[in-house]
Amino acid sequence: MREKEHIISRLAELHIALQWSTQHATMEVSTALTVGERIMVNQERAALFRELENDAKNFKQSPTVEEKVTGILYLIKRMNWQPKD
């Protein structure tokens, strides 16, 4: 099992990536996640929550989705973007 801090950090990253995608989906921005990619991100989140409860399942994210999430996180940091309330 990974360290708890690493899991919590990853959950926060995925959450903000989903928020970015939601707020930019209507703008036809290529960084917005598709419906299928959002499902895959939420599957990873579920696996991480299970891991926190010591009910770990072996989950491997798609390289394509991982690359897109990494790109979103880069943009968020570069733009100092904050989600709308």
Residue 28 has a pLDDT of: 61
Q: Which residues of the chain fall short of a pLDDT of 50?
A: none
Is residue 23 one of the residues assigned to a domain?
yes
Is residue 19 one of the residues assigned to a domain?
yes
Tally of domains within the chain: 1
> Global pTM?
0.85
Strand, coil or helix: 77: helix
Residue 57 has a pLDDT of: 72
Residue 23 has a pLDDT of: 86
Is residue 85 one of the residues assigned to a domain?
no
Is residue 58 one of the residues assigned to a domain?
yes
Is residue 30 one of the residues assigned to a domain?
yes
Is residue 75 one of the residues assigned to a domain?
yes
Is residue 84 one of the residues assigned to a domain?
no
Residue 59 has a pLDDT of: 83
Alpha carbon 20 to chain centroid, angstroms: 10
The residue segments making up the domain with residue 51 are 4-79
Summary count for the chain: helices (H), strands (E): 3, 0
